[in-house]
Amino acid sequence: MIDQIKSDLHAADVDPTRDSELRKAIELLFFSYRAFTRGPDQILAKRGLNRVHHRILYFIAREPGLAINELLTVLGISKQALHIPLRQLVSMNLIKNDKSKLDGRVKELRLTASGKRLESRLTGTQLLQLESVFSESGSDAEKAWRKTMTLLARD
């Protein structure tokens, strides 16, 4: 299986001499993401929730009144993938979905007071972590990291 993956990798025109360095970069991304999500994951697990719930809470907190279709676009998931976690958050009184005053067919999503507190705790762990890392690494490293993440986020 590993030989097939290596064959596929080289077939994709990746310089074979960069293979080891690129694999180390993949590992760093994996391990750093695991560390970045560890705190929120522990908080979420106590409530029977997971990362998708955090992402939903996060983006609604950033844009109160977000329509469900807009949330689907931001998250890049299907209605089916959103349905159950969103329903759970609503039933836990963390999110409320009200009809838009401009268009009754549109549901606008907002965090409840409980939802705001939970989202603040979840994201707060990550804000502190990023502040610490950026402070230690310096502004040039932070700028390089932001550029790298921006380039990786391109579709």
Q: Any idea where the domains of the chain sit in the sequence? A: 2-133
Q: What is the DSSP letter of 16?
A: G
User: How large is the average pLDDT for residues 97-106?
Assistant: 83
| pLDDT score of 3 more than 90 | no
Beta carbons within 10 angstroms of residue 113's beta carbon: 9
User: How large is the average pLDDT for residues 1-20?
Assistant: 68
| pLDDT score of 11 more than 90 | no
| pLDDT score of 13 more than 60 | yes
100 confidence band (pLDDT: 50, 70, 90):
confident
User: How large is the average pLDDT for residues 129-152?
Assistant: 96
Angle between helices 2-11 and 19-45 (to 10 degrees): 110
**For residue 4, what pLDDT is reported?**
60
Angle between helices 68-75 and 51-62 (to 10 degrees): 120
Q: Write down the pTM of the prediction.
A: 0.85
Q: Which fold has domain 2-133?
A: Arc Repressor Mutant, subunit A (1.10.10)
The helix or strand, by DSSP H or E, that contains position 95, with its residue range, turns out to be strand 95-99
Whole-number Cα distances in Å, 72 to 52, 68, 76, 83, 136:
12, 6, 6, 10, 36
**For residue 16, what pLDDT is reported?**
82
